[in-house]
Structure 1
């Protein structure tokens, strides 16, 4: 089966979030499973420095609103996967990936360029796996313009929604850029909506967790597209994301002080904790719980709940806290304030540092993810791999992957709370800290269960391969 994975970002060439990881991981696993998967993505400004090894493939002219724009194509191999880059300096050689006044034109150009690439290389593809709004008009363009050509006629499309909140919504008149007669397939609340177009025209749709697939069919989580998604219920499913065990492996991780596994971790985690506490100039006691937060500082991630309760949790416990992330300035300033006030118990790193993140996963006892909504979440999967127990709100992929501790049966791999409520977060956090302090036996049982869960790319890949076969067969 020949699969073309279409993504507006792809690690290690471009990344702003989890989509980039998925764009590198899933094609890699597909190729390991014997399929032929490649990635097509824009050539952004930061990629030009890596072009010395790229092969030039050719170019195509794409017309948007009567104006011609050139798409140049390059390819390279990375980690066993073929990456195809679409170059147009006007659209993509910019400081950021998104957030420009002409994003509608930029990603319409990219969607056309994906389909023109197929003609350029004269290769038949069984499936175009598109991702999020930036690729949203590909199924519509395929149906309306390209489907009549023999090379394109058999192609099926799968849309993966990584975050429904971001939809690619533009003024209604932007439809004129498409160069086709007006069509309600892509109109939503009197605006051109790239994601709505994909939902209505893709052969199949999936989200990145089964629970999120159910949630987005409700008014609260559906961001006004719940009706459109319910109309496609017979072609809608959810598959949990996985993580790359080659990258996130405490047995081989070179970033951490002491490597460990699910059989021998107690002493190693304490050594890692001591090294990190020393590095960050925090209190050096390794017997008290170390609580971590790693991620974006945004309302979606539940930071407002943390703002309401963290200072109380610090005052009512002996735990230490380390935060890594960036985002809204009010959240950044709050975490800076905590560090200033509690210098020997709180450390805040504004930004992202990969080595520090690995060290924190390997050292921390608890990872907070009190998200308002979470399509899948990767942090809790990485944390469990490193014996750090996630504390999550029961939403999306967090609910699918974290089994809350049961003090009677000793079952579980983390902690959770149901309602988006600051008091619930505080109580569960204090209970988890107390369990770590007073019941090391149960704690070890939970850590071992967390480390032995299978959230690998291979497990995810097998589920996607099964879905691919179903779509292509239909």
Structure 2
């Protein structure tokens, strides 16, 4: 460590070591971009059989007390660039891996870990192991950034937190990445908790009538923030299809906005390690190479039609119900998809299916691939390498999310020259300038309303512009490629917040 000030990030995933979704990308890049003034430490879960880049890292151990018994814990320390990473595991080495997605041979489920039946106590064990390790290693820090609900179990140990704060003065900041998922704590596990944990959890339960891990963070963190300005506004106004708004009572106007950025060293076509032919806004014709390859892989009848990419976890939050009606039997479920294809686009759906490979989502998309062969392609085997290649080959990106706290995929798409079509919610609204409203400054299209008709209308407008006004289309695409969504631009919000804290001008 070289700097006097230290930030500690507590998270459930961090790229490139372990990635489930966009949270890992954020935590994998944000610390490097806060390093001008701070040394950054990232502490995360160790998932047995699932980690990358830790093959030769020695395991070290320590003990923590659980109900009067000394329990063995392990940690792995890695220094990558100027960031130090710690990965924590327990004596039952599969406990975090199993809670995340089952054993290592089980196919990935697009819902996990958000709605899986997980052992909630594992998150409290992780929290206690973190507090024990921090004291043991004598790590001092100024801010503790808690990335989403998975790590809010630390507030179940107020005595240990108070002891830590007496030794060093720090502030805790909860960064909400997705309010929809909160980590429900049911009363039947209260008896398994340490006395101080049970008392604190029960206090929140009595106050609100229920309790979640996120509610502990909302109740006890010093600062509450989220990942886009519009999502902070939507949370404050409660204009979202979320449960748990009762936990925000009295905090609606205190939610800070810390927008996400992207790692331009990785998620940019000029520097992508996954592209054999790199390009930028001046050599964007190289996209033709990737489009031809994508059309070949997808079995499309023509590579002249615009390619529309839907790249996300395949869940209802992401808007998959616009494409297939999962309430109907398969033979009646494809009407909406057929209407999309009638606009003249070729459609690629790419992502891990909610419900896994035995669920209805996966089965229906597979069947749609047979029904619309030559115009529709489905790939459920997500990897970052394929994501880069698909973004490079796509003309457009579809993101009709029901809600979207920030969204990274639309930022990736613009960088790679794929024009985004988004529902204007959360961070999607903040980051995509609408062609309908500001055609001369536009970087994409807003989907009007939340209807299938609005979706098809937006796709048809984009397809017509692509096919009949190519110069205007190219200008739209280049504007998106030139827009700077890097952390160099976005971390100013963090700098401003930290300065306000030090000067006692932050309203918390």
Confirm or deny a common fold (TM above 0.5): yes
Hey, what's the Cα distance between the residues in 2 that align with 1:185 and 1:461? Answer: 36
1:171 matched residue in structure 2: 186
What is the match of residue 317 of structure 1? 343
User: In the alignment, what sits opposite 1:326?
Assistant: 352
Residue 316 of structure 2 contacts residue 402 of structure 2 at CA under 8 Å; is this kept in 1?
Answer: yes
Aligned length: 468
Does the 8 Å contact 2:309/2:347 carry over to 1?
A: yes
Structure 2 contact 236–252 (Cα < 8 Å) conserved: no
- Whether 1:88 aligns to 2:90 is yes
Q: What residue ranges of structure 2 are gaps of 5+ in the alignment?
A: 101-112, 326-335
Check 1:147–1:165 CA distance in 2 against 1; reply closer, same or farther (3 A cut). same
Which residue in 2 is equivalent to 1:200? Answer: 219
2:475 maps to 1:445: yes
| 2:447 matched residue in structure 1 | 417
In the alignment, structure 1 segments of 5+ residues that lack a partner are: none
- Listed one character per residue, the Cα deviations across residues 165-217 of structure 1 (whole Å, up to 9, x for unaligned) are 11111212534404216245532653331111100111101111111111123
Q: Aligned-pair distance for 1:462?
A: 2.8
Q: Which residue matches 1:74? A: 76
Q: How does 1:213-232 map to 2 (within 5 A)?
A: 213-221=232-240, 223-232=242-251
Classify 1:307/1:152 alpha carbon distance in 2 versus 1 (closer, same or farther; 3 Å): farther
Q: TM-score, normalised by structure 2?
A: 0.85
Instruction: Confirm or deny: 8 A CA contact 1:216 1:222 kept in the other structure.
Output: no
CA deviations 1:352-401 (Å, max 9, x no partner) are 13322211111111111100011111110000001101111111110111
Find out whether 1:121 has 2:137 as its counterpart: yes
Give the CA deviation at 1:55. 4.7
Match of 1:28 in 2: 32
1:146, 1:331 → 2: CA distance? 43
> In the alignment, does 2:173 pair up with 1:158?
yes
Secondary structure of 1:463 counterpart? helix
Per the alignment, in what secondary structure is the counterpart of residue 113 of structure 1? helix
TM-score, normalised to structure 1, is: 0.91
Deviations 1:387-426 (A, max 9, x none): 1011111111101111111487422100112422111111
Aligned-CA RMSD value:
2.4
Give the corresponding residue for 1:41: 44
Instruction: Kindly report which structure 2 residues correspond to 1:331-346, keeping only aligned pairs within 5 A, or say none.
Output: 331-346=361-376
CA distance in structure 1 between the aligned counterparts of 2:116 and 2:244, rounded to whole angstroms = 23
Q: Is the 8 A contact 2:11 2:43 kept in 1?
A: yes
Q: How does 1:65-464 map to 2 (within 5 A)?
A: 65-90=67-92, 92=95, 94-97=97-100, 98=113, 103-139=119-155, 141=157, 143-148=158-163, 152-176=167-191, 177-180=193-196, 182-183=199-200, 186-187=204-205, 189-221=208-240, 223-233=242-252, 235-256=254-275, 258-265=277-284, 267-286=285-304, 288-307=305-324, 309-314=336-341, 316-328=342-354, 329-406=359-436, 409-464=439-494
Find the residue that maps to 2:411 and give its secondary structure: helix
* 8 Å Cα contact 1:140/1:198 also seen in 2: no
State how far apart, in whole Å, the 2-side matches of 1:100 and 1:303 are: 20
- Per the alignment, residue 6 of structure 2 pairs with 2
Summarize the Cα distance change of 1:408–1:221 in structure 2 as closer, same or farther, 3 Å threshold. closer
User: Are the counterparts in 2 of residues 371 and 393 from structure 1 also a CA contact under 8 Å?
Assistant: yes
**Number of the residue aligned with 2:109:** none
